[in-house]
């Protein structure tokens, strides 16, 4: 694949790329750059963490990248996930790996690295301290959003260390590209700022879109990123998220209640599902409806769907019903995996139990 084709694939992933010039130079000088993604194991996994992540990573690996997937168990512990119980966090991590096995994630081009096996090593800790020495407390607090927190929150001392450790991960794993969500932008910029000061490099930042939750978007806020954090799909709002083991009826129910105002194509979560998930996976979308309401529709691109919806020629309920069908088709293989695989089933039962008791 030529450089331009590789660039075009990565552009499909990056809602923002810092910088495209750096990325182009990287691809010209390195045939298999290392990209980095990470996650806090913290309960059941939803469709943005599973299917959308698989779509993005697979595009990056097709473009020639090799991934280091950071299983951030210590980070979830520092962020007080799962009640701060490290053993529960690690069970949740094993469960999340089982989800991706059924999501068509390109495992052959991914190394899964557990934080527990790395963060206690002397060189990682030294890099963490070096980053802390070259950063002000004010600068680190501005990174609170990476933990799903606000700058105004009463952060623990562990949560102050967290951004320094995350930036250190990039250098310890020798990653050329930080491929995370827009909510992680600030810590990736921290890594770009301090890297050259410490004798490292400036990682390219490829920030992907954060999928909206199914609820109505919040009113305008002073900080656009804080508003984006409120809008994104979150497991803390279970009715606004599709989990990867939800039943067909649960999916239909959640989609039917979703915010989807007629003719409105802005901040519409159902259209987001169509754009970022359905058309990415299926490349087309068929919508069934009675002849008295215009008959069936077929769309070969998201743009076609958006134009018809904006004109009012497609009712939100018809769109929702079709969306539920396609989303269920994506979730079903995961449900089946957890139903048929004894190890996976046990992990799911454990994680569900943690959610009840925590």
Closest CA to 109 of 55, 68, 151: 68
**pLDDT-based confidence at residue 102 (cuts at 50, 70, 90):** very high
Give the pLDDT score at 235.
66
Is residue 229 pLDDT above 70, yes or no?
no
Asked if 77 and 202 sit in the same domain, the reply is: yes
Number of domains in the chain: 2
Among the candidates 176, 208, 240, a domain finishes at: 208
What pLDDT shows up at residue 148?
78
Residue 216 lies in a domain: no
181 and 111 in one domain? yes
The pLDDT tens digits of the residues spanning 39-59 come to 999 889 999 999 999 999 999
Q: Which residues contact 213 (CB under 8 A, 6 or more apart)?
A: 231, 232, 233, 234, 237, 240, 241, 269
- Return the SS3 of 266: coil
The answer to the question of residue 219 being in a domain is no
Instruction: Output the pLDDT for position 236.
Output: 66
Write down the pTM of the prediction.
0.91
Same domain, 279 and 145: no
3-state secondary structure of 177: strand
Are residue 127 and residue 234 in the same domain, yes or no?
Answer: no
Domain edge (last residue) among 160, 181, 208: 208
For 69, 157, 290, 307, 314, the CA distances from 263, given in Å and listed in that order, are 39, 47, 20, 9, 8
What pLDDT sits at residue 233?
A: 67
Q: What span, in angstroms and rounded, lies between the C-alpha atoms of 114 and 89?
A: 12
Residue span of the structural domain in which 252 resides: 224-357
Interatomic CA distance for residues 209 and 280, integer angstroms: 14
Instruction: Mark whether 155 and 70 lie in a shared domain.
Output: yes
Q: Among 126, 205, 135, which Cα is nearest to 172's?
A: 126
pLDDT of residue 120: 86
The CATH number of whichever domain residue 314 belongs to comes to: 1.10.240.10
Looking at residue 224, its pLDDT comes to 65
Q: How confident is the model at residue 68 (pLDDT cuts 50, 70, 90)?
A: very high
Q: pLDDT by residue (tens digit) across 128-187?
A: 999 999 999 998 888 887 777 777 788 888 888 989 989 999 999 999 999 999 989 999
User: How far apart are alpha carbons 181 and 195 in whole angstroms?
Assistant: 20
- Residue 94 sits in a domain whose CATH number is 3.40.50.620
Mean of all residue pLDDT scores within the chain: 92
For 245, residues 6+ apart whose C-beta sits below 8 A from its C-beta are 44, 331, 334, 335, 338, 348
8 A C-beta contact, residue 92 and residue 346: no
User: Between 216 and 149, where is the model more confident?
Assistant: 216
Same domain, yes or no: 346 and 292: yes
pLDDT tens digits, residue range 320-334? 999 999 999 999 999
Calculate helix-pair angle for 185-194, 157-172, nearest 10 degrees.
60
> Same domain for 315 and 168?
no
Domain membership of residue 217 (yes or no) is: no
Q: Are residues 155 and 233 in the same domain?
A: no
Residue 301 near residue 58 (C-beta atoms within 8 A): no
Reported confidence tier of residue 358, pLDDT bands at 50, 70, 90: very low
For residues 37 and 173, state if they share a domain. Answer: yes
> Do 199 and 269 lie in a common domain?
no
Q: Is the pLDDT of residue 357 over 80?
A: no
Q: Are residues 151 and 243 in the same domain?
A: no
> Among candidates 164, 117, 113, which has minimal Cα distance to 143?
164
Residue 93 near residue 112 (C-beta atoms within 8 A)? no
68 CB neighbour count, 10 Å cutoff: 20
d(CA 158, CA 78): 6
* Beta strands at 297-299 and 66-71: parallel, antiparallel or unpaired: unpaired
Does residue 185 have a cis peptide bond before it, meaning omega lies within 30 degrees of 0? no
For the segment 287-300, the average pLDDT, to the nearest whole number, is 93
Q: Three-class SS of residue 315?
A: coil
Tell me the percentage of the chain whose pLDDT exceeds 90.
Answer: 76
């Amino acid at each position: 694949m030529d450089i331009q084709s590789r660039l075009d694939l990565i552009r499909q992933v990056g809602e923002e790329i810092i910088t495209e010039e750096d990325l182009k130079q990287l691809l010209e000088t390195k045939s298999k750059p290392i990209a980095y993604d990470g996650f806090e194991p913290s309960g059941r996994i939803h469709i943005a963490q599973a299917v959308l992540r698989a779509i993005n990573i697979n595009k990056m690996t097709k473009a020639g990248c090799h991934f280091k997937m950071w299983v951030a168990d210590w980070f979830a512990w520092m962020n007080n996930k799962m009640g701060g119980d490290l053993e529960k966090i690690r069970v949740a991590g094993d469960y999340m790996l089982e989800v991706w096995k059924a999501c068509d994630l390109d495992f052959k081009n991914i190394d899964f690295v557990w934080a527990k096996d790395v963060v206690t090593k002397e060189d990682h800790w030294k890099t963490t301290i070096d980053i802390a020495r070259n950063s002000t407390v004010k600068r680190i607090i501005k990174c609170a959003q990476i933990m799903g927190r606000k700058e105004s929150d009463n952060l623990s001392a562990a949560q102050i260390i967290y951004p320094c450790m995350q930036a250190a991960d990039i250098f310890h794993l020798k990653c050329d590209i930080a491929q995370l969500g827009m909510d992680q932008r600030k810590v990736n910029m921290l890594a770009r700022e301090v890297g050259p000061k410490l004798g490292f490099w400036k990682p390219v930042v490829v920030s992907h879109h954060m999928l909206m939750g199914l609820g109505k978007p919040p009113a305008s806020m002073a900080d656009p990123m804080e508003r984006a954090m409120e809008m994104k799909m979150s497991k803390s709002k279970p009715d606004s998220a599709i989990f990867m083991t939800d039943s067909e009826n649960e999916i239909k129910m959640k989609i039917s209640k979703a915010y989807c105002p007629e003719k409105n194509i802005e901040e519409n979560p159902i259209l987001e599902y169509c754009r970022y998930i359905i058309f990415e996976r299926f490349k087309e979308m068929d919508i069934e409806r009675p002849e008295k309401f215009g008959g069936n529709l077929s769309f070969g691109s998201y743009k076609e769907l958006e134009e018809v919806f904006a004109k009012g020629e497609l009712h939100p309920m018809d769109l929702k019903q079709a969306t539920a069908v396609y989303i269920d088709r994506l979730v079903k293989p995961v449900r089946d995996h957890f139903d048929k695989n004894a190890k996976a089933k046990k992990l799911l039962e454990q994680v569900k139990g943690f959610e009840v008791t925590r």
